[in-house]
Amino acid sequence: MVAEESYAAGETRTALLTDTIGENLAATVRRFPDRDALVDRTAGRHWTYRELAADVDALALGLLELGIGKGDRVGVWSPNRSEWVLTQYATARIGAILVTVNPAYRTHELEYVLNQAGVRMLVAAPTHKTSDYARMIAETRPRCPGLEHVALFGSPDWEALLRSGRDADPAPLERVARTLRADEPVNIQYTSGTTGSPKGATLSHRNILNNGYFVGELCGYTEADRICIPVPFYHCFGMVMGNLAATSHGACMVIPAPSFEPKATLEAVEAERCTSLYGVPTMFIAELADEDLDSYDLSTLRTGILAGSSCPIEVMKQVIDRMGMGEVTICYGMTETSPVSAQTRADDPLELRVATVGRVHPHLELKVVDPDGGRTVPRGTPGELCTRGYSVMLGYWEQPEKTAEAIDSDGWMHTGDLAVMDDNGYVGITGRIKDLVIRGGENISPREIEEFLYTHPDILDVQVIGVPDERMGEEVMAWIRLREGAAPLTADSLREFCTGRLAHYKIPRYVHLTDEFPMTVTGKVRKVEMRTAAIGLLGLREGDAE
């Protein structure tokens, strides 16, 4: 009997949304005008849906008064704040394209994004922690000839923008809204690639509104839900899986702090009676490690999302047992697919919620292909994961060649992730094609070693990389964060722990103890940076592997 191919199509019982983001928000406002829509804990403010719509429209009209219109690019450079949310929906209302700028960027990266996207207006926080956005904008602006307007949140320019909108005739806004289509671009997100300059994934209303909606559907959201969103808005996790999942269901968005802080997040869940909590595994690890965790009332938590990287089973168990998130789900995706392509379901057993990223999302297709030949492989056979459907981006902004490299002629987005699909359609991500450690001809999955090392009682968090080796091509290195109070760990003591329990070629040759890993702002570990740093730490050369 011929083995079934690694292909799955999502269910289509619930129809795709056909409205724009502005139309969808307006429908929610009509249904739930007096329910909480947004809470900004730092600002100490709450908005009902009626109040949110009024402020969104004021900002949208202010932008129109300034001459910003359909198709214009508006950049937003800021950590999580209520003004970010207003900007997201106001730009969608007028058909402007929101360019989300990574809050961790510095002047060189800012200049690249502003010029590559042709940003006409930039709104930004004045400062955050060590980032002086106002100074960096002033330094960069002379080199960005297309940048006509800048408004810093809370500044006279920002207040004037809102005031002009509140005083304006609303008729132009409604006229513009009637010209918008759901398949038009509404967002450009720059992907943090490991090589070369970032690429601007261009996403439509249809892309991100539907993705947020179906993420919310699989989380079981209703207007009674309150979603704590400590993940960054600049990325799809925050603005799509968070904000659009909320507003498409009438749920409430809760901003616990401008950037992730474990205590602020736990306090927000308790104070705002949140039913859902988002995070990457490192965020949940930090919350679980909080010495006061058990003193917080987290009894309202029901669900949430873990995404961004693989979740160790021990972390998932504690999220369920100690935080009460019995219906927590795992999501898998990438910016170029709006982002989610697969998700576990609330009733999936625990082992499937850690060993896999779930099943294909509604209205999408997944397949696993041979990375070399491109043919679909049998179930249970590893290969590259590809996805197709409404969620696939319009393309990389003004980079048709890069777009063609990522999306094939049949519309399949090639993710670059190694995956296995089982007989029931559950997908396991085994690593990135470029993250494989190849030692002496053996293909080694860092994920497999990481999962094993999490069983060590002194290890809080771990990341495994390959480093160059003249004889073996590559050797395995573990970067380790120890639990508080743990004794120092050496390569020899770790080798002793692994011997007899892990194949010899998978045992890390090198161990580096660290307090933190190099991260993107979305919580993904930057293994390329780790490899570069490791070469310096160990006195190796990149050419040693050749």
Burial 416-446 (b: 16+ CB within 10 A, else e): bbbbbbeeebbbbbbbbeebbbebeeeebbb
Q: Report DSSP state, residue 367.
A: E
pTM, 2 dp: 0.88
Alpha-carbon gap, residue 448 to 427, rounded angstroms: 15
pLDDT number for residue 196: 57
Alpha-carbon gap, residue 21 to 248, rounded angstroms: 9
Alpha-carbon gap, residue 233 to 189, rounded angstroms: 11
DSSP string, 26-62: HHHHHH-TTSEEEEETTTTEEEEHHHHHHHHHHHHHH
Burial 1-33 (b: 16+ CB within 10 A, else e): eeeebbbbebeeeeeebebbbbbbbbebbeebe
CATH of the domain spanning 21-420: 3.40.50.12780
Cα 90 to chain centroid, rounded: 22
CATH 3.40.50.12780 residue ranges of the chain are 21-420
Phi, psi dihedral angles at 384 (to 5 degrees): -85, 135
pLDDT number for residue 543: 53
The residue type at 192: S
pLDDT number for residue 521: 64
Burial 171-202 (b: 16+ CB within 10 A, else e): eebeebbeebebebbbbbbbbbeeeeebbbbb
pLDDT number for residue 1: 56
The residue type at 124: A
Helical residues (DSSP H) of 442-523, grouped into ranges: 446-453, 491-498
Alpha-carbon gap, residue 546 to 544, rounded angstroms: 5
CA–CA distances in Å: residue 331 to residues 15, 201, 311, 454, 494: 21, 19, 11, 21, 32
Burial 317-354 (b: 16+ CB within 10 A, else e): ebbeeebbbebbbbbbbbbbbbbbbbbbeeebeeebbb
Alpha-carbon gap, residue 230 to 264, rounded angstroms: 9
> In a 3-state reduction of DSSP, which class is residue 359?
strand
Q: Which fold has domain 436-545?
A: GMP Synthetase; Chain A, domain 3 (3.30.300)
CATH 3.30.300.30 residue ranges of the chain are 436-545
Q: Report DSSP state, residue 113.
A: H
pLDDT number for residue 372: 83
Per residue of the chain (546 residues), what is the pLDDT tens digit?
A: 567 999 999 999 999 999 999 999 999 999 999 999 999 999 999 999 999 999 999 999 999 999 999 999 999 999 999 999 999 999 999 999 999 998 888 898 899 999 999 999 999 999 999 899 999 999 999 999 999 999 999 999 999 999 999 999 999 999 999 999 999 999 999 985 434 578 999 999 999 999 999 999 999 999 999 999 999 999 999 999 999 999 999 999 999 999 999 999 999 999 999 999 999 888 999 999 999 999 999 999 999 999 877 788 888 999 999 999 999 999 999 999 999 999 999 999 998 998 899 999 999 999 999 988 899 999 999 999 999 999 999 999 999 999 999 999 999 999 999 999 999 999 999 877 777 788 877 778 888 899 889 999 999 999 999 999 888 889 999 999 999 999 999 999 999 999 888 878 889 999 999 999 998 766 778 888 999 999 999 998 765 533
